[in-house]
Amino acid sequence: MRGIKRTSLWAPADQTLDLIEAGETDNRFIELAVAGKARYIITGDKRHLLPLRRYQGIEIVSPAEFLALYKSSNV
């Protein structure tokens, strides 16, 4: 967890996206990830976010997928 905190930053969104009509709040997560130049969105949202798999080079993965990547040092 300390490694994740060291690589985190605060980034206000500077654009509004409308990718997910049924999940207005889900769009905010994507906006923030884009603004912060995130490499990953880690989510358990199987209805809206996980099916996207990727947006503008940002990988959208489950916590289990991210943990596997982290443990294998591919993060």
Residue with tokens 């509004």: 16
CA distance 65 to 55: 17
Q: In this structure, what token pair is assigned to residue 66? A: 């991210």
Q: Could you state, in order of their start, the residue ranges of all structural domains in the chain?
A: 2-71
Check: pTM over 0.85? Answer yes or no: no
Q: In this structure, what token pair is assigned to residue 51? A: 């099916």
SS (H, E, C) the chain: CHHHHHCCCCCCCCCCCCCCCCCHHHHHHHHHHHHCCCCEEECCCCCCCHHHCEECCEEEECHHHHHHHHHCCCC
pLDDT digits (tens, 9 = 90+) for 46-62: 999 999 999 999 999 99
Ordered per-residue pLDDT tens for the chain, 75 residues: 566 666 666 666 777 888 888 767 889 999 989 998 899 999 999 999 999 999 999 999 999 999 999 888 766
